[in-house]
Amino acid sequence: MKTHASQLSITLVALMLGVLVIAQFATQQHMSQKRASASGVDGALLISSLVEGNARLRQEVNNLDAQMDSYRSATNQSKLQAMQDELDRLKAFNGVVEVYGPGVQVTLDGPVAVLDLQDLLNELRNAGAEALALNGQRLIAPSILEPMADGSIIIDGVAVRRPYVFAAIGDPATLETALLRPGGLLTIFSYSRQGLMVSVQQRDRLTMPIHTTQSAFQYAVPVK
């Protein structure tokens, strides 16, 4: 974007110089013609013509300045919009804001291990899920699933119990196809986990809450 803006500025400056040179040349040529036949021409007319020519040049310069200001403003607006879009994307990725969209809902009701849930979480991410939640708890990149002695699972400090319901925002058809493919993870679960009920449903709209636990860096420092 910086390269495009620089090229645009150079082009405008070159255009301005070209207009000035052409206008100056035209004025001088006009004055030469006047002098050639100036034997009976009043000198005041020559001065008046020169003043008018300079006024036209000043007006051209003002017009070009105004155009350059408008281009600069448009470029700055584009930069600000790009920065805002990137900020919104990072907020959504880190669970700082609530998001919604189409996707799938995956329910596991029965005996299932933490590693099974972690594998399913990775399966959804690999299939293109853009936002995830488990039993209403937002999942982000650093989220950790931990088993508890009573059979519940801790997600970033919050306990959840079965049935385990994953919500994944993304292309519903792509997510469902990836999850239900022959030999896929859910197929393996259905045959190898006695008493485990598995279902996948497409949803037109899913809403992901804000991630409740905000992690802080202890050692990493932003480069300035």
- Would you say residue 128 has pLDDT above 90? yes
pLDDT tens-digit readout, 85-119: 777 777 777 788 899 999 999 999 998 999 999 99
- Would you say residue 8 has pLDDT above 90? no
Contact 146, 154 (CB under 8 A): yes
pLDDT tens-digit readout, 9-45: 555 555 555 555 555 555 555 555 555 454 445 556 5
Residue-level pLDDT at 48: 62
Percent of the chain with pLDDT over 90: 35
Residue type, 188: I
- Would you say residue 126 has pLDDT above 80? yes
Between 73 and 215, the more confident residue is: 73
Between 45 and 130, the more confident residue is: 130
- SS3 (DSSP) at 201: strand
Classify residue 70 by its DSSP letter.
H
- Average confidence score pLDDT of the chain: 79
Q: Indicate the range of 73-82, 95-104, 120-129 predicted with least confidence.
A: 73-82
- SS3 (DSSP) at 95: coil
Structure tokens at 43: 């000198």
Mean pLDDT of 206-210: 93
CB atoms within 10 A of CB 38: 14
- In whole angstroms, give the CA distance from residue 171 to residue 177: 10
- Would you say residue 7 has pLDDT above 60? no
Q: pLDDT-derived band of residue 77, with 50, 70 and 90 as boundaries?
A: confident
- Would you say residue 199 has pLDDT above 90? yes
The model carries a pTM of 0.64
